[in-house]
Copies of this chain bind each other. A is one copy, B any other.
Amino acid sequence: MKNNIYDNYCEITFDSKSENEGFARVVAASFCTGLDPTLEEISDIKTAVSEAVTNAIVHGYNNGPGEISMKCMILDGIFTVIVHDDGVGIDNIHRAMEPLFTTKPEMERSGMGFSFMEAFMDELKVESAKNKGTTITMKKRIGAQV
């Protein structure tokens, strides 16, 4: 995809492996540095990205092989990140987003992933359907306090 719209754009695909969770956080955080984010804003973005990518690995691909894509863009001070997996998808999105709801308590998932994404970003959109993969879109204004 050619970028004619955004101030800056990047697209990354990587293996669905837990060791890439930290990698995805670094990519997103480092992509934002041009916006001169505060430490708190970086931390918020890292948390939200970590939750979305971990969910793709743990739930989407059930800890098996797969490919995750992440798009980052910046437009007028707003950072957007889209995390996508082609995994099992979410049956009931409304229920999935309830605080503390998890389908993997045996893996010590706390069910707080979506709550954190909502708490730390300005906008959260979840698109998914059974066996259709999952796309998480999150936005956050950077440097809003100025």
A residues lining the B interface (CB < 8 Å): 1-3, 6, 8-15, 17, 19-20, 22-23, 26-27, 30-31, 33-34, 67
Contact = CB atoms under 8 A, between A and B. Distances in A.
B20 A10 contact: yes
Contacts of A20: 8, 10
Contacts of A8: 14-15, 17, 19-20
Given A11-B12, A12-B12, A26-B26, A19 B34 contact: yes
Contacts of A6: 15
A76 to B, nearest CB: 16
Contacts of A2: 67
Given A9-B14, A11-B13, A26-B26, 16 more contacts: A1-B13, A6-B15, A8-B17, A9-B15, A10-B13, A11-B12, A11-B14, A12-B13, A19-B34, A22-B30, A22-B33, A23-B30, A23-B31, A23-B33, A26-B27, A27-B27
